[in-house]
């Protein structure tokens, strides 16, 4: 089980810290459950990718679906501390145009 770490430093925002080096297929259900259980008073959800070293197509799909699910609840998804190799993949797939990245 992945067990995502959730932090709520400010009212109206939350941070999910990726606590593994890879994000992919077997984590999809756990990640989806985490996203579904985000409280409705959250307006900004930050996905801290600092420790993430590898993301595959399943991982990209998970984040894209999360973005769509959150937008339907008027919650903005923000990617932070994106490693260089993950950023290159986001640029190649042009997903960097969809996500807010800080």
> Which pTM does this prediction carry?
0.86
CATH at residue 93: 3.30.750.24
pLDDT at 2: 47
How many Å apart are CA 24 and CA 102, to the nearest integer? Answer: 22
pLDDT digit string, tens, across residues 57-98: 888 999 999 999 999 999 999 999 999 999 999 999 999 999
**34-37, long-range: CB < 8 A, 24+ apart:** 34/4, 34/6, 35/66, 35/69, 35/70, 36/69
pLDDT class for 46, splitting at 50, 70, 90? very high
Q: Distance of CA 7 to CAs 15, 41, 55, 95, Å?
A: 5, 14, 22, 25
> Average model confidence (pLDDT) for the chain?
87
Domain extent for 92: 5-101
pLDDT at 1: 41
User: What is the domain count for the chain?
Assistant: 1
Contact 2, 20 (CB under 8 A): yes
């Amino acid at each position: 089980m992945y067990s995502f770490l959730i932090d709520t430093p400010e009212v109206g925002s939350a941070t999910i810290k990726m606590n593994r080096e890879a994000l992919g297929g077997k984590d999809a259900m756990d990640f989806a459950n985490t996203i579904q259980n985000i409280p409705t008073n959250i307006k900004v959800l930050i996905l801290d990718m600092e420790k993430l070293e590898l993301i595959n197509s399943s991982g990209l799909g998970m984040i894209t679906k999360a973005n769509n699910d959150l937008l339907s609840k008027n919650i903005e998804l923000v990617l932070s501390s994106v490693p260089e190799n993950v950023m290159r993949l986001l640029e190649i797939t042009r997903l960097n145009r969809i996500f807010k990245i800080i």
